[in-house]
Amino acid sequence: MKSIAELEKIRQATLSKVNLRREHEGTRIVVGMATCGIAAGARPVMNAFLNEVGKRNLMDVVVAQTGCIGMCRFEPIVEITTPGHDKVTYVNVKPEMVPKIVADHVVNGQPVVEYTIGQVE
């Protein structure tokens, strides 16, 4: 960076990306990354989602993180929101579950029921 103009260009590019995230209307994958989630293995789960979405080049999908979702005993927790559909909460998620969740739910619109909150005791 050699000038204020270059800095302003970087600032504008960053702001446009932030605005895109706020106005995103596609599928949103949110991984709980509070202390309890991280301790339970949320970081590898988050990385698996980022890799799978990137590998499939899914442009209408955003992978984000959040703090505590409030159900620590079910961590790692992943919530998927798709416009026009109810939010689906996946629990006890492991990285090896991610390809199936992305293929079945994100790509084909069929939640993987056996991985959801309604299926655990």
pLDDT of residue 11: 77
**Residue 71 and residue 75: Cα distance in Å, rounded?**
7
pLDDT of residue 66: 92
Enumerate the domain spans of the chain.
24-119
pLDDT of residue 25: 74
- Which pLDDT band, with edges at 50, 70 and 90, does 18 fall under? low
Which residue(s) pair with 116 in the sheet? 90
Higher pLDDT, 42 or 3: 42
pLDDT of residue 5: 82
Residues 50-67 pLDDT 10s: 999 999 999 889 999 999
pLDDT of residue 2: 74
Instruction: Mark residue 26 as left, alpha or beta (left: phi above 0; alpha: psi -120 to 50; beta: remaining).
Output: beta
| Residue 119 structure tokens | 């299926």
> Are the C-beta atoms of residues 29 and 53 closer than 8 Å to each other?
yes
pLDDT of residue 117: 83
* 24-119 CATH pick, 3.40.30.10, 3.40.630.30, 3.60.40.10, 3.40.50.2300: 3.40.30.10
pLDDT of residue 1: 59
Higher pLDDT, 2 or 95: 95
Residues 69-120 pLDDT 10s: 889 999 999 999 999 899 999 999 999 999 999 999 999 999 999 999 876 6
Comparing CA positions, the residue from 36, 25, 94, 100 lying closest to residue 59 is: 25
